[in-house]
């Protein structure tokens, strides 16, 4: 799920990869074609990414994945931007259908195209998140020219979640989970500082955190992430649960951090100031319950001068990140053990080859296959289960043979191959 941020991060850096860093990394880096620097980015569990591009002065929204390439949406204009994508490939965001200068919230569906969602009575609206049921959330101006948070559904239309709000700062809904639980932030009437909120149809709006809190995302378990003010007066990334309250996730050494996305496993991504050579640089991070907060410079070999603007993570642990250079996928690298049941073996003897694959996010999906080649010739294949595939053969001829296990990958997993030398005695 994707949040619309009001202030863009402006930075200049070179995206570099060092041999030392690459040797330590657990993520591979793939550039997303056509992505514009410092743009919103989102990824779903199928590995589809919302790509916002600037072409000849016009913003365009498309979908891209590593296997199928780019799918255009037909959404163009000076104010078009996709903000989130659900598992069906439906995109929400904002565009300018009549070139009025006032963006309008939209839902785009692969089969039926774009649907404009209207507003709460004012001239501007923008959608920032959606769920798999097709509900959308965002912000809209009212007839009184006040910014309010909204929830939109196909059957109910656009519902004002902050109807009593009269503050100039207004409010915004940023994400919605499968239970239609909404999160966001608002300026309480008479206040110059934000409060986070959660909202449900049954319970209405409930405050979250202290003054200065902004809630950006929520997963289906109801864990909320964002940033909140700490004792120092700075704001740190946080996670929140109804039973545990707010947990300070810390920083990468600097004074500020923001949690921007969370997946179903509780993996959190965001950005944090980090001090490098005396400079405060905004680095991307991944936080996990077991590993804590880890810098993209370590996980993916990105240079210390990289700065991250927008970032999301799907349930396969694939991270979509937007920088001021372009957009990138950080894809978990597979490691494997490749063994033979008998090496050396005898001609005619059955030999079982076993490959056990895993990554920082776990093994590939069950049911995918590995191909096994003997001296470059396909000998057979085996199905993966819990990251393990086994292939047995008794037809290898005498001599020394290179056995290759090839994994083709998918939209969330990189292809890989593993080698073993098998000696077969006469």
Helix residue ranges, H only, 208-353 = 296-299
Contact status, residue 197 vs residue 151, Cβ threshold 8 Å? no
What pTM does this model have? 0.92
Q: Let me know whether 389 and 340 are in one domain.
A: yes
Q: Let me know whether 307 and 349 are in one domain.
A: no
CATH classification of the domain holding 256: 2.130.10.10
Distance CA 379, CA 395 (A): 9
Distance CA 98, CA 317 (A): 39
Alpha-carbon dihedral 174, 176, 177, 181, rounded to 10 degrees: 110
Contact status, residue 175 vs residue 182, Cβ threshold 8 Å? yes
- Per the domain annotation, does 7 fall within a domain? no
Q: Let me know whether 344 and 284 are in one domain.
A: no
- Per the domain annotation, does 4 fall within a domain? no
Distance CA 26, CA 112 (A): 39
pLDDT per position in the chain (426 positions), as tens? 444 333 222 222 222 233 333 447 999 999 999 999 999 999 999 999 999 998 887 889 999 999 999 999 988 777 889 999 999 999 999 999 888 888 999 999 999 999 999 999 999 999 999 999 999 999 999 999 999 999 999 999 999 999 999 999 999 999 999 999 999 999 999 999 999 999 999 999 999 999 999 999 999 999 999 999 999 999 999 999 999 999 999 999 999 999 999 999 999 999 999 987 667 889 999 999 999 999 999 999 988 878 899 999 999 999 999 998 889 999 999 999 999 999 999 999 999 999 999 999 999 999 999 999 999 999 999 999 999 999 999 999 999 999 999 999 999 999 999 999 999 999
In 56-103, the DSSP E strands lie at: 58-65, 69-77, 81-85, 91-95
The confidence score (pLDDT) of residue 277 equals 66
Last residue of a domain, one of 288, 307, 332: 332
Chain mean position to CA 385: 26
Distance CA 93, CA 79 (A): 10
Which residue in this structure is represented by tokens 């056990």? 356
β-sheet with 345-346: strand ranges across: 345-346, 416-425, 399-407, 369-374, 377-383
Q: Let me know whether 45 and 101 are in one domain.
A: yes
Tokens at 274, concatenated: 């980090």
Q: Let me know whether 253 and 374 are in one domain.
A: no
Q: Let me know whether 377 and 262 are in one domain.
A: no
Structure letter (DSSP) for residue 296: H
- Per the domain annotation, does 284 fall within a domain? yes
Chain mean position to CA 45: 9
**Angstrom distances, CA of residue 171 to CA of 163, 185, 314:** 10, 6, 27
Q: How many domains does the chain have?
A: 2
Q: Which domain holds residue 410?
A: 335-425
Q: Let me know whether 36 and 171 are in one domain.
A: yes
- Per the domain annotation, does 262 fall within a domain? yes
Q: Let me know whether 27 and 160 are in one domain.
A: yes
Question: Can you say whether the dihedral through the CA atoms of 194, 176, 91, 2 is positive or negative?
Answer: positive
Last residue of a domain, one of 314, 332, 350: 332
Q: Which residues pair with 127 in a beta bridge?
A: 138
| Total count of residues recorded for the chain | 426
- Per the domain annotation, does 9 fall within a domain? no
Q: Let me know whether 40 and 145 are in one domain.
A: yes
Interior angle at CA 176, CA 322 and CA 323, nearest 5: 5
Other residues' Cβ atoms within 10 Å of the Cβ of residue 7: 5
Which positions ≥6 away from 233 have C-beta within 8 Å? none
- Per the domain annotation, does 14 fall within a domain? no
- Per the domain annotation, does 2 fall within a domain? no
Element spanning 111, H or E: none
CATH classification of the domain holding 380: 2.60.40.1930
Q: Let me know whether 175 and 205 are in one domain.
A: yes
Q: Let me know whether 228 and 345 are in one domain.
A: no
- Per the domain annotation, does 13 fall within a domain? no
Single out the residue of 97, 174, 91 nearest to residue 134, CA to CA. Answer: 91
Single out the residue of 364, 350, 319, 357 nearest to residue 422, CA to CA. Answer: 350
Other residues' Cβ atoms within 10 Å of the Cβ of residue 170: 20
In three-state secondary structure terms, 24 is helix
Q: Let me know whether 328 and 339 are in one domain.
A: no
Distance CA 60, CA 35 (A): 10
Last residue of a domain, one of 292, 307, 332: 332
**Angstrom distances, CA of residue 226 to CA of 183, 288, 401:** 10, 15, 54
């Amino acid at each position: 799920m994707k949040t619309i941020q009001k202030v863009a991060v402006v930075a200049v850096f070179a995206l570099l990869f060092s041999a030392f860093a690459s040797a330590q990394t657990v993520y591979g880096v793939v550039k997303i074609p056509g992505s514009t620097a410092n743009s919103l980015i989102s990824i779903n569990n199928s590995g589809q990414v919302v790509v916002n591009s600037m072409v000849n002065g016009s913003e365009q929204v498309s979908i891209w994945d590593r296997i199928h390439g780019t799918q255009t949406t037909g959404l163009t204009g000076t104010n078009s931007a996709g903000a989130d994508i659900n598992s069906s490939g439906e995109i929400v965001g904002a565009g300018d259908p009549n070139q009025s200068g006032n963006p309008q919230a939209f839902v785009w569906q692969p089969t039926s195209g774009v649907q404009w969602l209207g507003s709460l009575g004012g001239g501007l609206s923008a959608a920032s998140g959606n769920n798999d049921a097709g509900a959308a959330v965002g912000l809209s101006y009212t007839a009184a020219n006040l910014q309010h948070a909204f929830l939109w559904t196909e059957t109910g239309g656009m519902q004002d979640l902050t109807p009593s709000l009269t503050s100039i700062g207004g409010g915004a809904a940023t994400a919605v989970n499968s239970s239609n639980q909404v999160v966001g932030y608002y300026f309480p009437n008479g206040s110059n500082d934000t409060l986070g909120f959660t909202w449900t149809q049954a319970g209405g709006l409930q405050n979250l955190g202290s003054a200065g809190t902004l809630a950006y995302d929520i997963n289906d378990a109801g864990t909320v992430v964002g940033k909140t003010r700490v004792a120092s007066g700075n704001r740190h990334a946080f996670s929140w649960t109804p039973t545990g309250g707010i947990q300070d996730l810390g920083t990468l050494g600097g004074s500020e951090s923001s949690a921007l996305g969370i997946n179903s496993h509780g993996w959190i991504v965001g950005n944090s100031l980090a001090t490098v050579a005396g400079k405060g640089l905004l680095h991307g991070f991944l936080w996990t319950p077991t590993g804590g907060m880890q810098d993209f410079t370590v996980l993916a070999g990105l240079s210390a001068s990289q700065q991250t603007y927008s970032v999301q993570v799907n349930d396969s642990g694939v991270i979509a990140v937007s920088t001021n250079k372009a957009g990138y996928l950080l894809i978990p690298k597979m490691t494997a053990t490749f063994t033979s049941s008998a090496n050396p073996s005898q001609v005619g003897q059955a030999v079982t080859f076993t490959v056990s694959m895993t990554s920082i996010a776990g093994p590939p999906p069950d049911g995918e296959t590995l191909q096994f080649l003997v001296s470059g010739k396909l000998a057979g294949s085996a199905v993966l289960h819990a990251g393990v595939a086994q292939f047995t053969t008794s037809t290898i001829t005498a001599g020394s043979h290179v056995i290759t296990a090839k994994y083709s990958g998918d939209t969330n997993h990189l292809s890989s191959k593993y080698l073993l030398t098998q000696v077969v005695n006469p």
